[in-house]
């Protein structure tokens, strides 16, 4: 999907309702009465933290660090240098803590799905807990707020509710994501307006309709 920042991965979905694809014998009346959740979203993106490493590379790095720590610790103990052995243990513990923290950071993800009538945001934190929030697409607003040295903060809000999205992205990626979300929300809202046109009284031209006050 053009315009998405590097930290955002589009999720391609079939434009036909999943219920129709899985049940070819479904009658048209049944398809029309199916809930909106059966339809593929107009926009579906997965946000993940930037990660330049690979699983294979991290395993090799951890193995090298563990082997180095074991060899140096054995050498210091054999020489009777207890302070150096303790120092080696502290360094090994710090490296292990850093690797564990990086693994928790990579658990974070956010998925944003946009339909004409609603928008769903699924957020998974570093502990693996997932929170899901649903919003009305026509009323949802994208805001980029200044946040000091951390860069702008991207928020979604409507009717007094607000959440922050893309906090683990870079400043440039957050700004690009904000532009994409504004465009996709406007497109989805227009799709909903086209699906529910305002009726015109019979025999009365559009220009003669009273303007709302």
Domain limits, the chain: 8-51+106-194, 55-105
User: With pLDDT > 90 as the criterion, what percentage of the chain qualifies?
Assistant: 33
pLDDT tens string 8-38: 655 543 333 333 233 333 232 322 333 345 5
What tokens appear for 106 in the block?
């990579």
pLDDT tens string 54-110: 677 777 878 888 888 888 888 888 888 888 888 888 888 888 887 777 777 778 899
**How confident is residue 195, by pLDDT bands cut at 50, 70 and 90?**
low
207 vs 62 pLDDT, higher one: 62
What was the pLDDT predicted at 28? Answer: 29
Q: Which fold has domain 8-51+106-194?
A: PH-domain like (2.30.29)
Phi, psi angles (nearest 5°) of residue 164:
-100, 135
Q: Whose CA is closest to 115, among 99, 135, 98?
A: 135
What was the pLDDT predicted at 7? Answer: 55
Q: What is the mean pLDDT of residues 43-48?
A: 93
DSSP letter for 16, please.
S
């Amino acid at each position: 999907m053009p315009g998405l920042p590097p930290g955002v991965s589009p999720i391609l979905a079939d434009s036909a309702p999943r219920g129709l694809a899985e049940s070819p014998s479904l009658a048209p009346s049944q398809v029309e009465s199916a809930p909106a959740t059966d339809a593929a979203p107009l926009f579906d993106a997965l946000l993940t933290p930037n990660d330049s490493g690979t699983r294979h590379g991290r395993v090799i790095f951890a193995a090298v660090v563990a082997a180095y720590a074991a060899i140096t610790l054995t050498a210091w103990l054999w020489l009777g240098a207890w302070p150096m052995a303790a120092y080696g243990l502290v360094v090994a513990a710090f490296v292990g803590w850093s690797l564990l923290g990086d693994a928790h950071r990579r658990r974070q993800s956010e998925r944003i799905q946009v339909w004409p009538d609603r928008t769903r945001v699924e957020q998974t934190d570093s502990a693996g807990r997932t929170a899901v929030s649903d919003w009305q697409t026509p009323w949802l607003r994208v805001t980029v707020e200044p946040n000091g040295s951390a860069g702008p903060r991207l928020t979604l809000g409507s009717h007094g509710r607000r959440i922050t999205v893309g906090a683990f992205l870079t400043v440039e990626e957050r700004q690009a994501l904000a532009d994409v979300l504004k465009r996709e929300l406007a497109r989805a809202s227009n799709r909903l307006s086209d699906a529910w046109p305002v009726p015109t009284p019979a025999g009365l031209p559009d220009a003669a309709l009273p303007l709302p006050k």
